[in-house]
């Protein structure tokens, strides 16, 4: 079941790609209306869309809370070496900053650091250079709460002729328990930032990702999705709640594309990091 699909122009040569320089579009209201219709026709979903059964059960892994980044990177270095990796949300001291620092030790081809605050993104880039001066980096201005900003960032990525592919996209940025408010596009800002912005970005740069030998999308999440699903009948909390934390339970199911390349999901558990200052 597709919960949400963002539509954008398709090129005649490849209907799955966005032409560089084109102006991608998105029709959120139509997608939400379609989703509400699906819910009305499937009464067993009741008020929420529940996570699938296979996601409700913890996935057993050889890694746990005691696994260190350095040991993990050492073991998976062959999957990182020579790859172009785009990471969102890389403010100093954050999970994203720690992640790119660990990734740099495995010699990727290029690390693209995307963030909404150029000063903070530059600080992380500088810190990264001091530790790993031979690893190429590039800064991408990206405000996930604005569809226009996401489109502009995607167009920038598509315009980089010296970056022919994006091997890995790590959707890491996020906000939590902020004061209630709407994005510039009229969507509850936590939902817009954490989910819609990332979903739109992934779709818009998919052309370059599909050029990679083994592309991968990684969505960093938490256990918050277990608190509840997406309420398409009240996605802006106009009726039920307008206080900090209302959007914590947002959940979007990852979908595999037609080539069978499935989106990967990792969890940061109850990691607080720089999100602490957002908790009321």
Q: Are 127 and 111 in contact (CB under 8 A)?
A: no
| pTM strictly above 0.85 | no
Q: What are phi and psi of 135, to 5 degrees?
A: -90, 120
In sequence order, the 6+-apart residues with CB closer than 8 A to the CB of 9 are 18, 19, 22, 23, 24, 25
Q: Are 51 and 229 in contact (CB under 8 A)?
A: yes
Instruction: Round the average pLDDT of the chain to a whole number and report it.
Output: 75
Residue 149, domain member (yes or no): yes
What pLDDT sits at residue 233? 81
What pLDDT sits at residue 221? 81
Q: Are 263 and 171 in contact (CB under 8 A)?
A: no
Q: Helix/strand/coil (H, E, C) string of the chain?
A: CCCCCCCCCCCCCCCCCCCCCCCCCCCHHHHHHHHHHHHHHCHHHCCCCCCCHHHHCCCCCCCCCCCCHHHHHHHCHHHCCCCEEEEECCCCCCHHHHHHHHHHCCCCCEEEEEECCHHHHHHHHHHHHHHCCCCCEEEEECCCCCHHHHHHHHHHHHHCCCCCCCCEEEECCCCCCCCCCECCCCCEHHHHHHHHHHHHHHHHCHHHHCCCCCCEEEEEECHHHHHCCCCHHHCCCCCCCCCCCHHHHCCCCCCCCCCCCCCEEEECCCCCHHHHHHCC
End-to-end CA distance of the chain: 35
Give the structural domain span for 170: 67-229+243-278
What pLDDT sits at residue 176? 82
CB-based burial label for 105 (10 Å; 0-12, 13-18, 19+)? middle
Q: What is the domain-level CATH number for residue 262?
A: 3.40.50.720
The pLDDT tens digits of the residues spanning 125-137 come to 999 999 999 999 9
Residue 82, domain member (yes or no): yes
Residue 184, domain member (yes or no): yes
Residue 103, domain member (yes or no): yes
Domain count, the chain: 1
Query: How far, in Å, are 49, 126, 160, 183, 250 from residue 232 at the CA level?
Result: 9, 42, 37, 17, 10
Residue 136, domain member (yes or no): yes
Query: How far, in Å, are 73, 211, 248 from residue 14 at the CA level?
Result: 35, 12, 37
The pLDDT tens digits of the residues spanning 161-207 come to 999 999 999 999 998 878 888 999 999 998 899 989 999 999 999 99
Query: How far, in Å, are 1, 93, 241 from residue 105 at the CA level?
Result: 39, 17, 44
Query: What are the beta bridge partners of residue 204?
Result: none
Q: Which residue stretches of the chain have pLDDT < 50? A: 1-26, 35, 38-39, 42-56, 247-273, 276-280
Residue 29, domain member (yes or no): no
């Amino acid at each position: 079941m597709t919960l949400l699909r963002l539509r954008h122009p398709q090129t005649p040569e490849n209907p799955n790609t966005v032409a560089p320089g084109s102006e991608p579009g998105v029709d959120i209201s139509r997608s939400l209306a379609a989703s509400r219709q699906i819910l009305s026709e499937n009464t067993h979903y009741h008020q929420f869309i529940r996570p699938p059964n296979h996601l409700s059960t913890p996935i057993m892994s050889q890694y746990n809370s005691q696994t260190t980044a350095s040991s993990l990177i050492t073991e998976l270095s062959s999957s990182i070496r020579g790859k172009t990796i785009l990471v969102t949300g890389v403010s100093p001291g954050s999970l994203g900053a720690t992640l790119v620092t660990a990734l740099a030790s495995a010699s990727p081809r290029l690390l693209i650091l995307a963030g909404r605050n150029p000063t903070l993104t530059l600080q992380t880039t500088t810190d990264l250079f001091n530790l790993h001066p031979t690893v190429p980096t590039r800064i991408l201005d990206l405000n996930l709460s604005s569809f226009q900003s996401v489109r502009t960032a995607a167009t920038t990525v598509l315009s980089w002729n010296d970056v022919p592919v994006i091997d890995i996209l790590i959707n890491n940025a996020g906000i939590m328990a902020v004061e209630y408010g709407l994005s510039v596009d009229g969507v509850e800002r936590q939902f817009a930032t954490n989910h819609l912005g990332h979903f739109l970005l992934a779709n818009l740069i998919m052309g370059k990702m599909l050029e990679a030998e083994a592309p991968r999308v990684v969505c960093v999440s938490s256990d918050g999705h277990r608190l509840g699903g997406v309420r398409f009948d009240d996605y802006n909390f106009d009726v039920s709640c307008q206080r900090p934390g209302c959007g914590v339970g947002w959940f979007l199911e990852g979908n595999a594309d037609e080539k069978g390349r499935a989106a990967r999901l990792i969890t940061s558990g109850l990691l607080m990091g720089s999100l602490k200052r957002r908790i009321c």
